Amino acid sequence: MSEEQTVSLVDVLEEDEELEEEASAVLAGSDSDHCSYPQGYVKRQALYACSSCTPKGGEPAGVCLACSYKCHEGHDLFELYTKRNFRCDCGNRKFMELHCKLHSEKDEVNSLNKYSHNFFGVYCTCSRPYPDPDDQVEGEMIQCVVCEDWLHGRHLGCVVPDCVELQEMICESCMNKNHFLWTYAAHLSVQVKEEREADQSNTTLPNKEEQGDEVIEPSCKRSREEAEPSCRLKQLQAIGQKRVQSGAVFWPSGWRSKLCSCITCKECLSESGLCFLLDESDTVLAYENKGKTNEQGRQGHDPLMSALDHLNHVQQLEIIHGYNDMKTELKDFLQRFAEDGKVVTPDDIRRFFEQQSRKRRRDDAGRFYPT
């Protein structure tokens, strides 16, 4: 059997743990039981778009985590990860005949919600679905901090740095729409070696004579009316440090705290709809940490036990015994592979559960159920 068709026991356990951690980080920060609509425009939450209810060509709409479970079960959903300042649309005018089961009284439309092509299941500048069945190139997708679109790493126009999960990214389009961000990028952004070398070879700073009327004098030579001494952005502009203004920009941890928060800059950010950049708690990392904290607070809580609450005492005991038996048998089954130094293949796992199914049918056939 080829190497691609096999998987080690360690790989199985590590992949399962990684997927569980990712799910907890995204979902544990949102409420899975109550519609988020009464909270208004939630600072950040897990969102979904339903192609069954709002097909392409119609109006875009997003639903919260709880509504994706309770109101759109069995529907075709697009997972949007998280988005900021969004109010659940489930059951409003955009959904025609569908009514929200969790919160029926809703406005016809949430006018402050922002939508993109993500709500129709396409992403990046290439406007392709994810996963893309026609894309033969494996690669990660990274979310822009500003527009919150997801872009392929190869379409960012820059070299993706290591440990990208510890940083934030702003795509080239959003950088160009908010040109003052390039000033911060020259001083604060992450640039890998290849980009720095390109900057040094392609960009030369003009001397004072060559700059002509566009020369930037040091802030100390400016009048108080022209430059606020407390404005960090003005000070950085006065330094005149440059970088190539193309491609996406990656920002290190804590970069938001280095942005200027003077009155003028706050007004500028407000006009551009970027006030959230001054908020460290707006980051996806902060949201995920909140979710992990919530999950840790529920340690010892087993989802199976929650499901058991809806069964009678006899059914509960049967389920618990069956669950424990299967866990023990699966552990013994995998232990044999570990002791022999063998890999566990998909066929091995399939055979195990087929045996469990046959055993269950035999047990059910010999069991007497009172009427």
pLDDT in tens, 260-275: 999 999 999 999 999 9
Same domain, residue pair 137 and 149? yes
Residue 290: inside a domain: no
Residue 212: inside a domain: no
Same domain, residue pair 357 and 342? yes
Same domain, residue pair 60 and 118? yes
Contact 227, 238 (CB under 8 A): yes
The sheet carrying 42-50 orders its strands as 63-64, 42-50, 77-86
Same domain, residue pair 112 and 58? yes
> What confidence score (pLDDT) does residue 229 get?
59
The tokens 């995920």 sit on which residue? 288
Distance CA 300, CA 117 (A): 40
Distance CA 89, CA 36 (A): 10
Residue 219: inside a domain: no
Residue 122: inside a domain: yes
In total, how many domains does the chain have?
3
Residue 114: inside a domain: yes
Strand partners, 49: 78
Closest CA to 26 of 297, 296, 284, 302: 284
Contact 159, 192 (CB under 8 A): yes
Same domain, residue pair 34 and 60? yes
Q: What are phi and psi of 144, to 5 degrees?
A: -75, 135
Same domain, residue pair 24 and 101? yes
> What confidence score (pLDDT) does residue 136 get?
86
Same domain, residue pair 29 and 100? yes
Amino acid at 64: C
Domain C-terminal end among 214, 231, 254: 254
The tokens 């500028």 sit on which residue? 268
Domain C-terminal end among 214, 232, 254: 254
Residue 90 CB contacts under 8 Å (≥ 6 apart), including other chains: 35, 37, 61, 63, 64, 67, 71, 72, 98, 100, 102, 106
Cα radius of gyration (the chain): 27
Q: Are strands 42-50 and 63-64 parallel, antiparallel or unpaired?
A: antiparallel
Residue 151: inside a domain: yes
- Residue 138 sits in a domain whose CATH number is 3.30.40
Return the SS3 of 263: helix
> What confidence score (pLDDT) does residue 330 get?
85
Same domain, residue pair 151 and 124? no
Residue 159: inside a domain: yes
Same domain, residue pair 144 and 60? no
Closest CA to 277 of 157, 152, 176, 144: 144
Closest CA to 163 of 252, 282, 286, 291: 252
Residue 6: inside a domain: no
> What confidence score (pLDDT) does residue 352 get?
83
Residue 122 CB contacts under 8 Å (≥ 6 apart), including other chains: 128, 129
> What confidence score (pLDDT) does residue 83 get?
95
Q: Looking at 220-311, list the stretches that DSSP marks H as alpha helix, in order from N- to C-terminal side.
A: 232-239, 263-271, 284-297, 303-308
> What confidence score (pLDDT) does residue 327 get?
79
pLDDT in tens, the chain (371 residues): 444 555 555 565 566 666 666 666 678 788 889 999 999 999 999 999 999 998 888 899 999 999 999 999 999 999 999 999 999 999 999 998 899 999 999 999 999 999 999 999 999 999 999 889 999 887 889 999 999 999 999 999 999 998 877 789 999 999 999 999 999 999 999 887 666 666 665 544 444 444 434 444 444 444 444 545 589 999 999 998 889 999 999 999 999 999 999 999 999 999 999 999 999 999 998 888 887 777 666 555 555 555 666 666 666 677 777 777 787 888 888 888 777 777 777 778 888 887 777 766 665 555 444 43
Residue 152 CB contacts under 8 Å (≥ 6 apart), including other chains: 124, 126, 139, 140, 141
Give the range of the structural domain holding residue 86, as residue numbers without chain letter. Answer: 15-129
- Cut 0.75: pTM above it: no
Distance CA 264, CA 261 (A): 8
Same domain, residue pair 152 and 248? yes
Same domain, residue pair 321 and 348? yes
Strand partners, 249: 170
Same domain, residue pair 95 and 25? yes
> What confidence score (pLDDT) does residue 178 get?
97
